[in-house]
Chains A and B, each alone.
Chain A
Amino acid sequence: MLWLVSAQLVNGIAIGMIYALMSFGLSIIKGLLNIPNFAHGALYALGAYICYSAVSMGLPFALGLLAAFAGAALAGWALQRFAIQPASKSGYLAQLVTLFGAALVIEQMLLIGWGTIGLSYSPPPLLRGAVNLGFTVVPKYIAFASVFSALVIVSVWLLIERTKFGAYLRAGIERPDTTRALGINVDLLLGVGMMMGAGLAGLAGGLALPLVGATSTMGGDMLGIAFVVLVIGGLGSLYGSVAAGVLVGVVQSLTAIAAPAASTAIIYAAMIGILLFRPQGLFGER
């Protein structure tokens, strides 16, 4: 039994890191714009399709991931510049509806551009097969995806916490009016922040391509989990989403031992439980 728990723990941490990457981008956008990005799932799907197209053209997978990040970041910038910014003048609700609409538009564009048949891609030969840990086997690609996600999160963390740009960004999130008064272009910061968040969604999509393929509706599946992670981590906490992502992956994985059919439902039940006893989430401050 102990080996099975250990095996599911390893699997849960690996999957949880991918959830964390997705939720980290969502958390950045929530912090910047103070709105939940309902188009985040569609950007994730866009990243998967861009990555697929890149590798289909013969580019290495690494460049496919880069293209997924860049393409989704560009879409995020366009979304901010031409949809959210104009809608912000009409208030919070208008922005929410705009993001809902944008998600549907992106999904339909994916269908038009790539068709209704889902797409699959096998990882590069180096990442195929599994690593035997003695008590369990872990697919090499899942191990790679989790380590890669962790590295990306750490890099973005360093960018935000240890650079001048990051200081501006944090100031723009926490005190936008004061930041403007200091002569900093907050709108530009918001645009760059949106690009970063959207790019991370696209990167997560590219990373998920060998695991879940590319379908126009894949964003909706992942968005549900990403919001659960965001709420559990705490809406005000950028890094809470990372811890919560891993937690959700582990809980989901461990539940599969005793009640496999409930392994998805359990994460929603956990979210309700946490909201009841700690409405600000595990790491939220307010």
Chain B
Amino acid sequence: MQMTPTRRAFLSYAAALGAAPILPAVAQKTGTVTMGVITPTTGTFAYAGDLVARGAALALEMHGSNVLGTNVRLLTRDDEGKPASGVRRVQEAATSDGMRYFIGAYSSAVGLAESEVAQREKLLQFAAGGSEDFTGTRCGRYTFQWSAHPYTAIRATLEYVRKSFPQKKTIYTLTADYVFGHALLKYTRIVAAELGFELVGNDNHPFGERQYTQYLTKVVAAKPDILLLNTAGADAVTAIRQFANFGADNISVVGPWTLEVDQLAELAPEMRTGLILGQNYYPDVDTPANKEFVAAYNKKFAALPGYSSAYAYDAIRTLLLAMENANSVEVPAVIKALERMSWDGVLGRMSIDPNTHQLVRPYFVARCKPASAMRHTADFAEIVATGNAPQPSQLNECKQMPEL
């Protein structure tokens, strides 16, 4: 039987279609704030996905899943570590689920692509990742950056090396060939000049590379004092594994933003001993908010938190604080509150630079311990230095924050 649409049915469909774009907004106003956790559970950064979700869920749970009398719910989506997937997930969650706030992505390339959607759809994004573009050329009023600026990271790490190993003067860099690696390399050049290091070589490697011996052969031949890894995730783990096979113990391996606590377990103890690593977060950070976080996390998951969980926990906690500060769950009011407030966060006293939306925060340098010095299975390293030098303002390329 063939169905012929009636005029009344046609008008009903048209009305429904017309109303679709405002449905999420209606949902937002009817008593639930939806926050997205857009994070990779597959791909190069797959290890981080569940950990981010854990941190976000814990922050919400500790806040009673409620803010200003409004229920808060989390929805999680897999961005696969790919910009196209991340953009699609953010768009779908905003359109179909009424999401107005999200944390993500873990990868800079994905986060920057999602940032475009955040500005267009007026969604508040609390991002992580090592690209300076979040708070530089592609800064936006709706995007905030939780992770440290690459300048802060490089400066803190190399300052420690300069002070602790004054005899080490030459650096060979291995750089991931995408925005994250390029940002680190740019600031490595600047900071190395500031601190008197000599850069003797650099090789860019493709993202997802699994064969490093061709680069490492060049590194060993150049005989630098330091191999500086401007790369992260599974790429960095593989590079360190293969470098360990060369037995070049006189070359120190330094990673300004290379491996977080979550990934140190992937390396055999003899591969990680002596590594000098810049850290966005370390469980030993001595602040009241962090102690509360570590205790709650350990109780719930019987493990210590790492960068991924800490980022999600602190970002969600900060958003909830900002909503209370603004006395509103509307995005523009929360953005204005974030731009002016100062609070005790997991990393210490924190604030946001209103001109760039960069979180003003410390950065930690850790040195990996030999297996014999570990107090427990996750006691991989100790914090040996802290730095908080902000990016010099003349180097920032965020022209002006647009009006809301």
On A, residues with C-beta under 8 Å from B are 3-4, 7-8, 11-12, 14-15, 116-123, 128-130, 136-137, 139-142, 210-213, 215, 217-218, 221-222, 252-253, 255-257, 260-261, 263-265
Q: Does B242 contact A (CB under 8 A)?
A: yes
Say which residue of A12, A123, A130 sits within 8 Å of B214 (CB atoms): A12
Report Cα–Cα, A14/B268, bound state, in Å: 23
Digitize B264-292: 1 where CB-to-A-CB distance is under 8 Å, 0 elsewhere: 01111011000000000000000000000
Task: With A7-B217, A120-B271, A265-B206 as known contacts, state yes or no: A137 contacts B237, CB within 8 Å.
Answer: no
Report Cα–Cα, A89/B64, bound state, in Å: 58
Say which residue of B46, B203, B208, B234 sits within 8 Å of A256 (CB atoms): B203
Q: How large is the interface on B (under 10, 10 to 19, 20 to 34, 35 or more residues)?
A: 35 or more
Asked if B205 contacts A261 (CB within 8 A), the reply is yes
Report Cα–Cα, A116/B213, bound state, in Å: 25
Distance in angstroms from A110 CB to nearest chain B CB is 12
Report Cα–Cα, A212/B271, bound state, in Å: 12
Q: Which residues of A contact B208 (CB under 8 A)?
A: 221
Asked if B203 contacts A213 (CB within 8 A), the reply is no
Q: Which residues of A contact B328 (CB under 8 A)?
A: none
Say which residue of A210, A221, A261, A265 sits within 8 Å of B245 (CB atoms): A210
Asked if A212 contacts B245 (CB within 8 A), the reply is no
Say which residue of A8, A122, A136, A260 sits within 8 Å of B268 (CB atoms): A122
Task: With A123-B245, A260-B203, A261-B205 as known contacts, state yes or no: A213 contacts B238, CB within 8 Å.
Answer: yes
A-B contact count (CB 8 A): 115
* Interface hub of B47, B241, B265 (most chain A Cβ within 10 A): B241
Asked if B241 contacts A211 (CB within 8 A), the reply is yes
Digitize B190-221: 1 where CB-to-A-CB distance is under 8 Å, 0 elsewhere: 00000000000001111011110111011011
Would you give 26 A-B contacts (Cβ < 8 Å), ordered by A? A4-B221, A11-B214, A117-B266, A119-B266, A121-B268, A122-B244, A122-B270, A136-B220, A139-B246, A139-B247, A142-B213, A211-B242, A218-B210, A221-B208, A252-B211, A252-B214, A253-B214, A255-B214, A256-B215, A256-B218, A260-B205, A260-B214, A261-B203, A264-B206, A264-B209, A265-B206
Report Cα–Cα, A246/B266, bound state, in Å: 29
Task: With A129-B247, A139-B245, A139-B246 as known contacts, state yes or no: A118 contacts B237, CB within 8 Å.
Answer: yes
Report Cα–Cα, A139/B248, bound state, in Å: 10
Q: Which residues of B contact A130 (CB under 8 A)?
A: 220, 245-248
Report Cα–Cα, A261/B206, bound state, in Å: 6
Asked if A256 contacts B245 (CB within 8 A), the reply is no
